[in-house]
């Protein structure tokens, strides 16, 4: 079950808050998991460069006692790559706490540039780090720290016409203490470009 509250006012402020709770059974295990996602934005009025600044907070439950046989890790069901937790997709909406901040700028009618940063931590240090596809990146018992790391993303979108759009992006992940404790801990760089044709 879940709910969403969102909207904007004429002063330029907008807000979005969503939440969900999962319950049931998996085999003999009881399921009790949840998530909360929120973002507050402000669009600067009468600005030559259209801009929207935002702050966000996401929290998805993890399993605080893997040995008890019950399921406390939120299942993100049908995840979207790049949509919520940065472009590298090393983090998904399972056992995660994410503070985000960013700005979206439109210096030209057809060009939008977005810059955002994320501070990632495990919600429960007994549970794993999961990627955007729901796969285990690092096992929960591989380290004791909550700190996963930080990510910075820069994305530029250019709409050539009604049918053709271009996108390019760069992301950098700064490995945190849990990554260092649990294996290879080099930072990650990700660069991409794409073309979208709409018929």
Please, are residues 104 and 113 in contact by the beta-carbon 8 Å criterion? yes
When pLDDT is averaged across residues 56-73 and rounded to a whole number, the result is 94
Q: Is the pLDDT of residue 18 over 90?
A: yes
When pLDDT is averaged across residues 104-122 and rounded to a whole number, the result is 96
Q: Residue 177 CB: number of other CB atoms within 10 A?
A: 16
One DSSP character per residue, the chain reads -EEEEEEE-TTSEEEEEEEEEEEEEETTEEEEEEEEEEEEEEEPTT-SSEEEEEEEEEEE---S-GGGS-B-SPP-SS--TTSSS-SS----SSSEEEEEEEEEEEEETTEEEEEEEEEEEES-TTS-EE-TTS-EEE-GGG----EEEEEEEEEEEEE-SSSEEEEEEEEEEEE-HHHHHHS----EEEEEEEEEE--
Q: Could you give the percent of the chain with pLDDT greater than 70?
A: 100
Q: Is the pLDDT of residue 46 over 90?
A: no
**Sorting pLDDT into bands at 50, 70 and 90, what band is 48?**
confident
pLDDT of residue 59: 98
Per residue in 134-162, pLDDT (tens digit) is 999 999 999 999 999 999 999 999 999 99
- Calculate the average pLDDT of the chain: 96
pLDDT of residue 73: 97
Q: Is the pLDDT of residue 66 over 90?
A: no
Q: What is the pTM of this model?
A: 0.94
**Sorting pLDDT into bands at 50, 70 and 90, what band is 47?**
confident
**Sorting pLDDT into bands at 50, 70 and 90, what band is 54?**
very high
Q: Is the pLDDT of residue 56 over 90?
A: yes
pLDDT of residue 67: 85
pLDDT of residue 34: 98
Q: Is the pLDDT of residue 93 over 90?
A: yes
């Amino acid at each position: 079950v879940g709910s969403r509250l969102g909207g904007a006012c004429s002063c330029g402020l907008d807000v979005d808050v969503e939440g969900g709770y999962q319950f049931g059974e998996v085999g003999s295990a009881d399921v009790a998991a949840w998530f909360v996602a929120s973002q507050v934005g402000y669009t600067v009025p009468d600005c030559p460069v259209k801009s929207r600044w935002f702050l966000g907070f996401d929290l998805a439950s993890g399993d605080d006692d893997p040995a008890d046989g019950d399921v406390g890790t939120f299942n993100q069901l049908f995840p979207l790559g790049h949509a919520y937790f940065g472009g590298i997709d090393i983090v998904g909406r399972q056992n995660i706490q994410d503070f985000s901040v960013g700005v979206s700028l439109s210096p030209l009618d057809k060009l939008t540039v977005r810059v955002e940063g994320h501070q990632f931590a495990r919600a429960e240090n007994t549970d794993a780090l999961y990627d955007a596809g729901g796969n285990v990146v690092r096992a929960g018992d591989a380290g004791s720290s909550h700190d996963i790391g930080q990510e910075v993303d820069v994305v530029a979108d250019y709409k050539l016409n009604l049918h053709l759009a271009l996108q390019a992006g760069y992301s950098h992940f700064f490995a945190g203490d849990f990554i260092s404790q649990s294996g290879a801990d080099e930072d990650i760089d990700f660069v991409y470009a794409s073309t979208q044709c709409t018929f």
